[in-house]
Amino acid sequence: MASVLVIGEAPDGQLSATSAELLGAATRLAEELGGGVACALIGGALSSAAQAAVAAGAETVYAADHESLAQYHTEAYVPLAAAIVQQDTPQAVLIGQTSIGRDLAPRLAARLDTAVVMDAVDLAVADGRIRATRPCFGGNARQVVTITSDPQIITVRAKSQDALDPDASRRGSITAIAVDPVAPSAAVTGKEQVQSEGVPLNTAEIVVAGGRGLGQESAFRDLEELASVLGAAVGASRAACDLGWYPPAQQVGLTGTVVSPTLYLAVAISGASQHMAGCGGSKSIVAINKDPGANIYNFCRFGVVEDYQKVLPPLTAALRELLQD
Amino acid sequence: MDAIVCVKQILDPEMPASAFKVDEASMTIVTPPGVQQVISPFDAQAVEAALQLRDAAGAGTISVLSLGPDSARDAVKHGLAMGADEGYHLNDPAFEDGDSWTTALALSKAIEKIGLPDVLLFGRQAADWDYGVVGGMVAELLDLPSVTVLRSVEWRDGKIGVSRVVSDGFESVSTTTPCVLTISNEFGDPRYPQLRQIMQAAKKDVTVWTPADLGIDPSAIGAAGARVKMERLFVPKNETQVEFIDGDSPAEKAQALARKLREAKII
Ligand SMILES: Cc1cc2nc3c(=O)[nH]c(=O)nc-3n(C[C@H](O)[C@H](O)[C@H](O)COP(=O)(O)OP(=O)(O)OC[C@H]3O[C@@H](n4cnc5c(N)ncnc54)[C@H](O)[C@@H]3O)c2cc1C
Ligand SMILES: Nc1ncnc2c1ncn2[C@@H]1O[C@H](COP(=O)(O)O)[C@@H](O)[C@H]1O
């Protein structure tokens, strides 16, 4: 029995970065709760991910390893996750606030007759229970909550927690979980991968993002050029995505991707709270917006109050020159 | 094709950030003057999805269900004005101050009482507390398949085909009915009720149920049954001071910005 069980993810057989962060958080919480750390993995070809989970802090790994589980599927994953939780009986279960976690956690909580708190960005222990801090109201507010039922299930935002340094000398046991494939009622029939060219959004050190104020889809080509000079990823506000100017997978914000780069350059984005919910954790935010009263400027280190069309070409040129030497 | 759409009434999430305030002592949101209560935007999109499914199937009854105080009746009426047929309102002091669990429990009892339809629709998350839990919990309580965060739904003669938004693209899923679906903003704008439809909806009855009508023990719902306890509610402090870049022309400002970024070691 562990104090904290992490439900990890291992797409393509590799432990995800978020899973390692959750194991780091679980290690810190378990120390205060006075117990151990376990990790559940559900997927296909998990042996190296299971080793990676041990190196990342798990003392026990439960691996439900089967080719039919290579892709996430609600009806297959929920019962396996529930079986592992019931076998381990942890005090708390941490799950990533990812596409998978969003889908899995509510059903898992209901199945185990307990509660779930979504999208925690900070975790602490008080009176032997976990206190989770989470953004709400589109990022306008934060609440601190405690779950009074057991186990306490919490989804945790990517990059909000620090992973431990991976240590291959850590020892842990790996328990295989029996998998009995079932024909699902809801079957995945296809996948359309939206390839973002260049740097992936969620891990980028620099993000250049565009909003409705760009006025036209073609302006994203100019942002892409600037991004290639900076080695940056390109993101977009929901308004820009809703207009069809950029793919939804590149949307930054509450219902899109949460990014926390060292530099977030927002071009013609007003800075609505739901957008800031996705980029407010950036080290430095810089905006180009012609309205000096735009909300984004409340979060900016630097701002250029101008029509972006007049600023982007000389900015791209200046940065290209600067970054050449 | 019968559907039930669960809709929540919330404070307009599009209000300016500067208007947003909380009362930390009572852990409540202060309603700013002039800001309205509205149907949660994803829930309006869920009503739209139900109407489109019915159009595709040719016939069916769409019911709108909301749990909330007296004012939540307006969210039900909004769904009716959009074109739904029947409205249900779970309204009783015992329902107040619950959590995702108590809400899911009450909604699932109400859904059983209405009669399980082909499709149960929810928003991907209520745009106030941003949980995204109730749809999945109702699916589990009623033991139904669920597909979440959808950008499109299609009626295929008793089956449902959907497109899910996932982190690296979209997933096509085909599900049997009855099922639970949660709708995301990628679905597109919901129709806006016309004055005539609003007047017609105003005349429609909304069925009101209390815990007793649903056979629920009041200790299982609302504040009494809640399993998530709030310790604190606050507005995060933001002490960033913007430095506006000076310059005689946009080009000079651009060059100055590039220099500043370098000096500050940001790039
Ligand atoms: C429940 C909910 C969830 C949401 N989730 C998200 C989310 O995940 N991500 C997200 O981004 N939004 C989200 N939104 C929407 C959000 O509230 C805003 O509507 C949206 O972010 C606005 O996008 P924008 O800044 O591009 O557009 P606008 O608000 O229209 O701003 C455009 C800006 O461009 C500036 N501008 C115009 N022309 C120029 C020019 N020539 N040069 C320079 N500047 C110019 C204007 O001054 C303005 O500030 C959500 C909303 C709700 C209700
Ligand atoms: N009080 C409520 N009444 C009716 N439906 C609700 C209520 N609360 C949540 N829902 C539904 O559940 C979805 C998810 O809500 P939540 O889990 O609270 O974010 C919402 O989009 C609604 O469809």
- Give the nearest ligand 1 atom to A210 CA: 26
Q: Which amino acid is at A300?
A: C
pLDDT at A114 over 80: yes
Is residue A306 classed as helix, strand or coil in its secondary structure? coil
Question: Is B230 inside any structural domain?
Answer: no
Quote the mean pLDDT of chain B. 97
Same-domain status, B129 and B250: no
State the CATH number of the domain containing residue B87: 3.40.50.620
Of the listed ligands, the closest to the CA of B131 is 2
Same-domain status, B262 and B216: no
pLDDT tens readout for residues B211-253 = 999 999 999 999 999 999 999 999 999 889 999 999 999 999 9
Quote the mean pLDDT of chain A. 96
By DSSP bridging, strand B228-234 and strand A141-147 are: antiparallel
Question: Is B72 inside any structural domain?
Answer: yes
Report CA(A246)–ligand 1 centroid distance (Å).
14
Angle between helices A99-111 and B100-114 (to 10 degrees): 70
pLDDT at A275: 97
Max CA distance (Å), chain B: 72
pLDDT at A195 over 80: no
Buried b (16+ CB within 10 A) or exposed e, B35-68: beebbbbbbbbbbbbbbbbbeebeebebbbbbbb
ipTM: 0.96
pLDDT at A11: 92
pLDDT at A325 over 80: no
Look at B167 and A257 and tell me if their CB atoms are within 8 Å.
yes
How much of chain A, in percent, has pLDDT values that exceed 90?
93
d(CA B46, CA B43): 5
Question: Is B251 inside any structural domain?
Answer: yes
- Touching check for A137 and chain B: CB below 8 Å? yes
> Which residues make Cβ contacts (< 8 Å) with residue A54, sequence separation at least 6?
A61, A170, A171, A172, A174
Same-domain status, B191 and B262: no
pLDDT tens readout for residues B183-198 = 999 999 999 999 999 9
Same-domain status, B130 and B243: no
Buried b (16+ CB within 10 A) or exposed e, A95-131: bbbbbbbbbbbbbbbbbbebbbbbbbbebebeeebbb
Beta carbon of B192 within 6 Å of any ligand 2 atom: no
pLDDT at A132 over 80: yes
Look at B229 and A145 and tell me if their CB atoms are within 8 Å.
yes
The whole-model pTM stands at 0.96
pLDDT at A253: 95
Q: Which residue of B has its CA nearest to A282?
A: B266
Same-domain status, B49 and B111: yes
pLDDT tens readout for residues B45-95 = 999 999 999 999 999 999 999 999 999 999 999 999 999 999 999 999 999
Same-domain status, B22 and B132: yes
How much of chain A, in percent, has pLDDT values that exceed 70?
99
pLDDT at A182: 84
Same-domain status, B33 and B63: yes
Report CA(A238)–ligand 1 centroid distance (Å).
7
pLDDT at A156: 98
Beta carbon of A241 within 6 Å of any ligand 1 atom: no
- Least CB–CB distance from B172: residue in A105, A190, A313: A190
d(CA B198, CA B75): 12
Same-domain status, B180 and B264: no
Joined together, the tokens standing for residue A305 give 């109050």
pLDDT at A133 over 80: yes
Same-domain status, B99 and B162: yes
Of the listed ligands, the closest to the CA of A257 is 1
Q: Order of strands across the sheet with A173-176?
A: A116-120, A152-156, A92-96, A4-8, A37-43, A60-65, A173-176
Same-domain status, B208 and B155: yes
Same-domain status, B31 and B126: yes
pLDDT at A196 over 80: no
Same-domain status, B188 and B266: no
- The total number of structural domains that make up chain B: 2
d(CA A213, CA A218): 12
Joined together, the tokens standing for residue B253 give 């400002």
Counted residue by residue, chain B has a size of 267
- Touching check for A231 and chain B: CB below 8 Å? no
Question: Is B231 inside any structural domain?
Answer: no
- At residue B20, φ and ψ (nearest 5 deg) are -80, 125
Look at B136 and A106 and tell me if their CB atoms are within 8 Å.
yes
Domain that holds residue B255: 237-267
Whether B92 and B221 have beta carbons less than 8 Å apart is answered as no
Counted residue by residue, chain A has a size of 325
Question: Is B143 inside any structural domain?
Answer: yes
Of the listed ligands, the closest to the CA of B110 is 2
Question: Is B232 inside any structural domain?
Answer: no
